[in-house]
A and B are shown apart, each in its own frame.
Chain A
Amino acid sequence: MSGQPVRFFQVGSFAAGNRLLPPELRSVQSDATRANALTSGHRACQGCGEALGARYVLDTAMRATQGRLIAVNATGCLEVFTTPYPQTSWRVPWLHSLFANAASVATGVASALEAQGRSDVRVLAQAGDGGTVDIGFAALSGLFERNDDVLYVCYDNQAYMNTGVQRSGATPPAARTATTEAVGPEPGNPFGQGKNLPLIAMAHGIPYVATATVADLHDLEAKVFKAMSIHGARYLHVLVPCPLGWGSAPAATIELARLAKETGLFAVFESEHGELTASSPIRRPVPVEAYLRPQTRYRHLFDDAGEVGRPDVVARLQAMADANIARFDLLGGER
């Protein structure tokens, strides 16, 4: 055992930083001079995953472009809680037009920069899951098809939270929303519907598609850096838990994102030109129950004592997780 390479086992590569790590190995978020592109005073709920995800992504993109970045925002929580007239939380050039057209506006900005010969300024479009998988889908598919030079980021909190938690095309099966109440033999959102936008993006064959969560900061930042090193249409899908819509404790936001990945329900992977190139393996495998139980949107699956009351539904969710594990090789080929 002599001559062990000196590694940082105390925090490994999982915490934001470490006083013993050289600065280049620490996350952007650990840097006291980070851009704070989304600054304090915003009106997001306590423990908002989307506010966190947006700052992670934009601060990294700002670092990658030396601050030469224009952000385009769709309608949604992110737009509403950051820009109540006349205040703004954005410390980056930022445009908002309509719910459906963030991709089109971003294309326009990119085209205008190209026309001006400004190859140094990059464009990032961002939206929630509603503005991406439902309302803005046509414009986004067009952006992909034209391979416009835009990084499009979807912050997926799995429903229309800002207007009162209505179902979106990204709402998972069995989840209670205001429009999929927990009643009847199949309570909550039905199985077999909805859209997996990362896979749809891959089907467009664009240069780069990746998924990430707010629970793995280093992974998320690496994917933004990688996306910003590529030109053409790029798509990043970030899972951002929502305490309000998911019925979870504000403090549990990151823990739930971690559990979504560790159960296999949310696959974290990367793809280039339509081919799967990498997936993040599960580190501490857990059954889906561990992820479902802390969320009141799944409360109807458990009885008052917290025991599984609908084993049939939980088994179907577990089967979805198992299918992801097999499809994306999330256990490193062990299964």
Chain B
Amino acid sequence: MNELPFAISLEVGSSLANRTGSWRVERPRYLDRMPPCNDACPAGENVQRWLYLAEEGDYERAWRVLVEDNPMPAIMGRVCYRPCETACNRGQLDEAVGINAVERFLGDLAIERGWRLPEPAPDSGARVLVVGAGPGGLSATYHLRRLGHTVRLVEASSALGGMMRYGIPKYRLPRAALDAEVARITEMGVDVELGTPVRDLAGAMRAGGFDAAVLAVGAQLAHRAYIAAADSARVLDAVSLLRSMEGEEPPALGRRVVVYGGGDTAMDAARTARRLGATDAIVVYRRTREKMPAHDVEVEEAAEEGVVMKWLSTITQMEKGRLVLEKMALDEHGFPQPTGELEVLQADSVVLALGQDADLSLVGGLEDVVVRHGALEVGDDLMTGHPGVFGVGDATSAERTVTTAIGQGKAAARAAHAWLSGVPLERPTRHELATFELLNTWYYDDAPKTMRRRLEPARRTGTFDEVAVGLDESDALFEARRCLSCGNCFECDNCFGVCPDNAVIKLGTGRRYEFDFDYCKGCGICLQECPCGAIVMEPEEI
């Protein structure tokens, strides 16, 4: 022992000997919470994760995470109604992150660079029949192939894509993007049969030796409405109108076109009519704007293009060149009731967009498959009443969007895989939601959204060119970096910086942090100052 100075009886020691962790009554824990974008995505995309990778400029890895769930990002980046952006916490701060625009950027980049979808797993020996090559059928095909199953994709039309080709106009979804993403799926080794409607599912399954089937037949049967009509009235339905746009001869609609209905299909029909040369495109809907099922973006873009809306009106009579409308009023339950007040409207043609049913005659031979209100009845696992037969997309009573169909295609593929393997379907536990209140938004800089450029309305109505213009790379990077990373650590070093007791250990890039419980006093500053809500305090067990 060294000679100690006068009046000093002990050698200097470090305070590290004093384990202040014993003071703690609550202990912090790092956790991942469910970001609202992921939570809201009908396709089950891990949005936060692929934005995180895109922020680093690692677009290929971002795209690879994206296609784990959705093999068609260039399509989704154009036609999705963006429930993710509605849910985005940043919307409460300034404006929601432009998730959809970044998705499209990644999708387009993948097409440009020729990135391929992942290789399928080794052959499982199982054979699955997928009926219908719309978004649901293609998504199911992709996920079944990835799991190693042999897939035959049977389609009634002469081309793949379903409603993405025969329902969504080109100004919203250019066919080059559609063709590229569809081809990438069939390249995985899919047995495709075009122009072959399946009329008897049981027979087709027997004949082809299929172990399971996914029905993704869509809904093409247009609803009719009883309207007194003179023979000379020009009436057609929106499904046929949009479908005929893929043919050689666009239909002649005349100069004044009335569209009857209030959904997205009605908007598409009215906007298509404007592009076919109609000087007046008028949407007649029996309820109000608020009650209209069409998505806001469609209504707004239609209005910009000169489409006129007539709310609270029904068509009671059609004659050559003119219609008789009756004014409606909402009753106390919000249902429209006739008022007896009539109005005459000039019209060269009327397009009915009153909803669609699925043609489900193919399951006639399967008595245990239930069809209700023109839709397949399916369980939580998307299985119909017949074991091994699954239903997805518009043919079920799901919300009729591309995104929902893609999500269901994935879910049905996983359920079919479990069923074929004879194991129960495992659902990953969902993390608790990362709500806005869990964030400390002080740490995020103010950054309004990069507006997506759109074609000038005056230039839109004359052409079927795409309305929304894509982001360039710097805009996409800017947009990705606006992500708040809700509920998921993005390594900002705040917890490491703000701990008064140096009780946070930084593990290095990509490895996040851990707490040093020898010294953590449990003050909770780390939680309070965590920007993204990735820390929780829990009572200490004593």
Contacts and interface: CB of A to CB of B under 8 A. Distances in A.
Are A and B interaction partners?
A: yes
B440 to A, nearest CB: 8
A41 B17 contact: yes
B96 to A, nearest CB: 14
B15 A40 contact: yes
A12 B20 contact: no
Interface string A321-333: 0000000000000
Nearest to A254: B529
B501 A42 contact: yes
B493 A29 contact: yes
A19 B443 contact: no
> Which of B444, B475, B491, B502 gathers the greatest number of chain A CB atoms within 10 Å?
B502
A40 B484 contact: no
B498 interface: yes
Interface in B342-377: none
A183 interface: no
Given A6-B474, A40-B519, A15 B531 contact: yes
Given A3-B474, A87-B15, A14 B493 contact: no
A274 interface: no
Interface stretch (B108-116, B182-190, B380-388, B445-453): B445-453
A36 B524 CA distance: 20
A184 B236 CA distance: 85
Query: Which of the four size classes fits the interface of chain A?
Result: 35 or more
A14 B475 contact: no
B478 A20 contact: no
Interface in A240-263: 243, 249-255, 258
Nearest to B449: A1
A257 to B, nearest CB: 11
A193 B521 CA distance: 36
A91 to B, nearest CB: 8
A273 interface: no
B496 A30 contact: yes
Interface in B495-509: 496-498, 500-503, 506, 508-509
B496 A16 contact: yes
Contact of B497 (A10, A86, A87, A217): A217
A1 B451 CA distance: 8
A152 B528 CA distance: 30
Contacts of A116: none
B498 A254 contact: yes
B55 A11 contact: no
A197 to B, nearest CB: 24
B15 A39 contact: yes
B458 interface: no
B176 interface: no
Contacts of B443: 11-12, 14-15
B516 interface: yes
A32 B508 contact: yes
B508 A255 contact: no
Which residue of B23, B493, B500, B508 has the most chain A CB atoms within 10 A of its CB atom?
Answer: B500
Given A43-B18, A46-B522, A250-B521, 4 more contacts: A3-B472, A10-B485, A32-B506, A47-B524
23 contacts: A2-B475, A5-B474, A6-B478, A7-B447, A9-B478, A10-B485, A10-B490, A11-B492, A11-B531, A15-B492, A15-B494, A17-B494, A18-B493, A27-B497, A39-B15, A40-B20, A40-B519, A43-B20, A86-B11, A251-B523, A251-B525, A251-B528, A253-B500
Interface of A: 1-20, 26-27, 29-30, 32, 36, 39-44, 46-49, 51-52, 55, 82, 85-89, 217, 243, 249-255, 258, 284
Interface of B: 10-20, 23, 55-56, 442-447, 450-451, 453, 472, 474-475, 477-478, 481-485, 490-494, 496-498, 500-503, 506, 508-510, 516, 518-519, 521-525, 527-529, 531
